[in-house]
């Protein structure tokens, strides 16, 4: 897993950027909205990492949040793949 908080924050921003790109490329309105919501989730998580660092929240809580958003991303990407394969 990621070693430090700044690396986690950068990773969140990379995921957010990737989600935004996929939303821009998506023609299905429902999947486009899913990718936009996923982008916002990654941005929210990055902000929470920054905020929680100042409050010294245990790393376990941050890791759970990170893993939860990653599972959301997997769900959206699976839906995207299913749509492509169904066409």
Locus of tokens 């950027």: 17
Q: What are phi and psi of 56, to 5 degrees?
A: 55, 45
Please state, in angstroms and rounded to a whole number, the distance separating the CA atoms of residues 26 and 77: 12
Model confidence at 81, pLDDT cuts 50, 70, 90, reads: confident
Output the pLDDT for position 2: 47
**Tokens linked to 30:** 């429902």
Whole-number mean pLDDT of the chain? 79
Q: Which residue has the higher pLDDT, 77 or 43?
A: 43
pLDDT band for position 62 (cuts 50, 70, 90): low
pLDDT band at 1 (very low <50, low <70, confident <90, very high): very low
């Amino acid at each position: 897993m990621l070693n430090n908080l700044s690396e986690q924050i950068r990773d969140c921003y990379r995921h957010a950027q990737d989600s935004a790109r996929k939303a821009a490329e998506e023609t299905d309105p429902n999947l486009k909205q899913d990718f936009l919501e996923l982008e916002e989730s990654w941005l929210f998580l990055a902000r929470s990492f920054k905020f929680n660092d100042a409050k010294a929240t245990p790393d376990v809580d941050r890791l759970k949040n990170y893993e939860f958003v990653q599972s959301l991303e997997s769900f959206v990407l699976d839906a995207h793949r299913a749509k492509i394969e169904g066409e």
